[in-house]
């Protein structure tokens, strides 16, 4: 049983490492948002750069607060609507930090009984916010 526990621990650590590295390896700006509370559960450095705030200060804060003229409930339901899951049509937003226009693409999923939303922030003209080039 001890060996099984250690193997579980190792496997979990590996998945954790893969997930964390992939978040910062991708050239996209990505945030993970709780569908229940609307707060930022995780985000990568590209996303934090767009928001103009240190990553640690953004965790557990409402995602909708980063955009102008967006009420929290309205943005959340747009991001988590079943429609957005099947045929995601990006949502137009304006960053509070820079008045820059962005598109949000989202994917709702359930993990460990919690509903989470992956959100990708992209540039309407360039298609993606790559590697600090546009950040």
Enumerate binding residues for its own copies (CB under 8 A): 1, 5, 8-19, 21-23, 25-28, 30, 32, 107, 109, 111-114, 116, 118, 120, 122, 127-128, 130-131, 133
Minimum CB–partner distance for residue 40 and its own copies (Å): 14
Q: Which is nearer to its own copies, 25 or 99 (CB)?
A: 25
Q: Which is nearer to its own copies, 21 or 83 (CB)?
A: 21
Minimum CB–partner distance for residue 71 and its own copies (Å): 25
Cα–Cα dist 32/63, whole Å: 9
Give CA separation, 109 vs 39, 85, 86, 125, in Å. Answer: 15, 9, 12, 28
Q: Which is nearer to its own copies, 69 or 127 (CB)?
A: 127
Checking 98-102 for CB contacts under 8 A at 24+ apart, the result is: 98/50, 98/52, 99/68, 100/50, 102/50, 102/129
Q: Which is nearer to its own copies, 75 or 129 (CB)?
A: 129
Cα–Cα dist 62/103, whole Å: 18
Residue that the structure tokens 């957005």 belong to: 84
Minimum CB–partner distance for residue 70 and its own copies (Å): 22
Q: What angle do CA 11, 17, 20 make, to 5 degrees?
A: 140
């Amino acid at each position: 049983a001890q060996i099984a526990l250690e193997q579980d621990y190792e496997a979990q650590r590996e998945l954790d490492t893969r997930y964390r590295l992939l978040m910062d390896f991708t050239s996209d700006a990505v945030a993970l948002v709780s569908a229940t509370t609307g707060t930022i559960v995780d985000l990568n450095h590209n996303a934090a750069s767009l928001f103009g705030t240190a990553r640690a200060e953004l965790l557990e804060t409402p995602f909708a607060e980063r955009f102008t003229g967006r009420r929290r409930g309205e943005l959340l339901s747009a991001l988590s609507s079943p429609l957005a899951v099947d045929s995601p049509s990006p949502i137009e937003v304006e960053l509070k930090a820079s008045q820059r226009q962005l598109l949000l693409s989202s994917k709702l999923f359930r993990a460990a009984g919690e509903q989470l939303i992956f959100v990708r922030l992209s540039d309407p003209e360039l298609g993606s916010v790559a590697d600090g080039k546009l950040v």
